[in-house]
Amino acid sequence: MNRDLIAVFEYLEKEKGIKREIVIQAIEESLRAAARKSIDGASNVTVTINPKTGDIDVFSEKEIVTDVEVPSQEISLEEARKIDPDSEIGQFIDVIVTPKDFGRIAAQKARQVISQKLRGAERDVIYEEYRHRVNELISGTVKKFVRGANLIIDLGKVEALLPMKEYPKTEKYQIGEKVLALLMEVRDTENGGAEVILSRSSPEFVRQLIIQEVPEVSDGIIIIDKIVRDAGYRTKLTVRSTDFKIDPVGACVGVRGNRVKNIVRELHSEKIDIIPFSNDPVELLQNALNPIEVRKINFNEAEKSISIVVDDDDFAAVIGKKGMNARLNSRLIGYNLSVQRMTDYNYALMLESNERASTDDPTLDEPLTSIEGVNPLVFYHLEDYLKSQEQTMTLRSLLKFSPAQLKSIPGISTEIADQILEQIRKQRT
């Protein structure tokens, strides 16, 4: 019995999921090529392997003749009948011609071919087992590190690759540690095999975690429209409900936040923002920034850009660490996003107003009877204030106002002052 070969069969069956018949067929094909080279002049050489004992037999087809002239291709009737009593002249018969040293020679010559065949068989098993599981969550154990910080994950029957770029920099792993990841793809390798590629950085990983945790998502009641992610730090996603009775954000968060807490725990405390979806990019941006109030907004569809102004105290939160929050919001709404502090905006507005007020344009000195978009009562307060300062209500006099001066006038709040300045800047006489 060839115990080594039997051990190979059993290992490949149990550990790799490769059927014994496939392995035997691969080895037989490779040994056939080695046998032809080992037996000079032999024709129609075949190799058989006993699946139970692992014994290898080499057969050569020979013609039954009266007088043997070419021993490698012919056999006498007497010798043939020792194999098959019904043999007749002119027939062909398979004769065992296994060389004495064939085991050593064949193993040496066929090793490379066998390796290629087995890689092909293993590739087929990998494709059959995993190709239809792309975008599923799959768990395994860290087996080793290769080429730096790339991880080999033991999935049981096969080993998968978790590339360094496919897991957050904030995550560190040890040999033997359990890992849950997304089965991202199954791809061919350069040596003819196949490998399973995993990911923990993909936005799809977060989607699958939510599907696993929130039944309403897996049932199609809640739709996740878009996910943007800076893996390891923050994820933003938009959700909507097909049932008006169900709050999509509340369902994803769960009672006392239990659902989202489980997801955050798996993501190693990565922050998750769950945002109500809107087809309107401006409304979607406001949803993403809630509860921060956007003071000014400029939407440019042609340039695919949105500019906003926020209070100074909110600026850092809107931008985020190293601009991450603004970048993610920009990707979420699909528009270039620029953010400005209110003081910077007002300062730029004041410079523009002062520059305009210093021009020789005579229309700036024409008396005003109203300001478009400004309440008549507010206009009256302005006019009354200017009279008290012995000034006339003109665009030039208004352009010289600073936001602080406007706010100091009775009846004019911060919001109204901003509105007046905005309207004055746009106004033409």
Distance CA 397, CA 355 (A): 13
Nearest to 298 by CA among 314, 311, 281: 281
* Range with top average pLDDT, 44-48, 82-86, 93-97, 349-353: 82-86
CATH number of the 359-426 domain? 1.10.150
Can you give the pTM of this predicted structure?
A: 0.69
Task: Specify the amino acid at residue 278.
Answer: S
Nearest to 31 by CA among 110, 121, 116: 110
Architecture of the 208-277 domain: 2-Layer Sandwich (3.30)
> Taking the mean position of all CA atoms in its chain, how far away is CA 66?
73
Question: What stretches of 20-101 show up as alpha helix (H) in DSSP?
Answer: 20-38, 77-83
Residues 137/182, Cβ–Cβ less than 8 Å: yes
CATH topology of domain 134-201: OB fold (Dihydrolipoamide Acetyltransferase, E2P) (2.40.50)
Give phi and psi for 169, each to the nearest 5. -65, -20
Distance CA 34, CA 28 (A): 10
Better pLDDT: 125 or 300? 300
**pLDDT tens digits along 149-179:** 899 999 887 889 999 999 999 999 999 999 9
Banded pLDDT at 112 (limits 50, 70, 90) = low
CATH topology of domain 278-352: GMP Synthetase; Chain A, domain 3 (3.30.300)
Distance CA 420, CA 406 (A): 9
Distance CA 78, CA 64 (A): 9
H/E element holding 418? helix 414-426
Better pLDDT: 119 or 50? 50
**pLDDT tens digits along 393-420:** 888 888 888 777 888 888 788 778 877 8
| All structural domains of the chain with their residue ranges | 3-128, 134-201, 208-277, 278-352, 359-426
Residues 130/122, Cβ–Cβ less than 8 Å: no
Counting Cα atoms < 13 Å in the Cβ hemisphere of 184 gives 20
Locate the DSSP E strands across 18-126.
45-49, 56-65, 74-76, 92-96
Residue 223 has pLDDT above 50, yes or no: yes
Residue 428 has pLDDT above 60, yes or no: no
Distance CA 75, CA 59 (A): 13
Distance CA 105, CA 404 (A): 96
3 state SS of 195: strand
The per-residue pLDDT of the chain, averaged, comes to 86
* Range with top average pLDDT, 92-106, 147-161, 281-295: 281-295
To the question of domain 3-128 being in CATH 3.10.20.90, the answer is: no
- The reply to whether domains 278-352 and 359-426 share a CATH topology is no
The pLDDT assigned to 325 comes to 96
